């Protein structure tokens, strides 16, 4: 398996390569499926809603108790990535030209970059949540309920941050308008003349 970084990600934007993206300590497999379409023009209709890519993210949380005393219980939330996978679709059509193949390579790179942005957004969300101050409660039951409330809030924040990223990037169509390190190529399909 080829391990790509954000600097070498384009090597993993190739359907013939079994690869994964590494971001810090996290390794995210890039999994390809295949679809046949009538022409390149058919891809343009799909590019508005992440038709060529999807990032599956699973997180988990736990409470780390830091204090137990007669005054009560204190701790903080620890959120981590349980699983992450980028799923991309490769395309083909009859009588594909070299220009059509080049258009596909551009969309594969742009789509992979957009999906990497989902992982980066998740890691940023987790870092912010894990940096939050301790919480405390007077009893074990109250501490457990408070930990669950913090966990629910963390899940809601992670989801909201993902939605905000997609909204800002317009599902990759305006990726170039985002600030670094999320800015990158747009997922707009530029088909060759004749759509082949």
Task: Supply the pLDDT for residue 133.
Answer: 95
Please give the radius of gyration of the chain, using alpha carbons only, rounded to the nearest integer. 21
Angle, helix 140-169 to helix 98-130, in steps of 10 degrees: 150
Residue 170: inside a domain = yes
Point out which residues pair with 75 in neighbouring strands. 65, 135
Number of domain units in the chain? 1
On whether residue 158 sits in a domain, the answer given is yes
Beta carbons of 100 and 196 less than 8 angstroms apart: yes
- Burial class of residue 83 (count of CB atoms within 10 Å of its CB; 0-12, 13-18, 19+): exposed
Q: Can you tell me the distance from the alpha carbon of 126 to that of 59, in angstroms, rounded to the nearest whole number?
A: 9
The low-confidence residues of the chain, meaning pLDDT below 50, are: 47-48
13's torsion region: left (phi>0), alpha (psi -120 to 50) or beta?
alpha
Task: Flag whether 195 is in a domain.
Answer: no
Instruction: Copy the structure tokens of residue 152.
Output: 């629910």
Domain-embedded: residue 161 = yes
Task: Name the one residue in this structure whose structure tokens are 């079994």.
Answer: 18
Alpha-carbon distance 170 to 85, whole Å?
21
Determine the structural domain holding residue 180 and report its residue range: 2-190
Number of neighbours of residue 128 by Cβ within 10 angstroms: 14
In a domain, 40, yes or no: yes
Residue 194's pLDDT is 75
Q: Is 196 inside a domain boundary?
A: no
Residue 184 domain-assigned? yes
């Amino acid at each position: 398996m080829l391990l790509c970084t954000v600097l070498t990600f384009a090597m993993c934007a190739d359907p013939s390569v079994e690869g994964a993206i590494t971001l810090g300590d996290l390794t995210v497999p890039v999994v390809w499926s295949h679809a046949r379409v009538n022409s390149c023009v058919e891809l343009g209709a799909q590019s508005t809603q992440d038709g060529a890519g999807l990032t599956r993210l699973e997180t988990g949380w736990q409470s780390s108790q830091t204090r137990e005393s007669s005054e009560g219980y204190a701790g903080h939330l620890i959120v981590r990535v349980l699983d992450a996978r980028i799923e991309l679709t490769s395309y083909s059509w009859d009588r594909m030209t070299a220009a059509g193949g080049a258009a596909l390579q551009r969309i594969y790179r742009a789509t992979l970059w957009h999906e990497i942005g989902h992982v980066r957004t998740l890691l940023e969300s987790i870092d912010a949540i894990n940096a939050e101050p301790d919480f405390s409660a007077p009893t074990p039951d109250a501490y457990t309920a408070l930990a669950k409330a913090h966990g629910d809030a963390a899940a809601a924040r992670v989801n909201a941050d993902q939605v905000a990223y997609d909204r800002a990037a317009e599902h990759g169509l305006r990726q170039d308008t985002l600030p670094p390190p999320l800015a990158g190529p747009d997922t707009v399909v530029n088909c060759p003349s004749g759509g082949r």
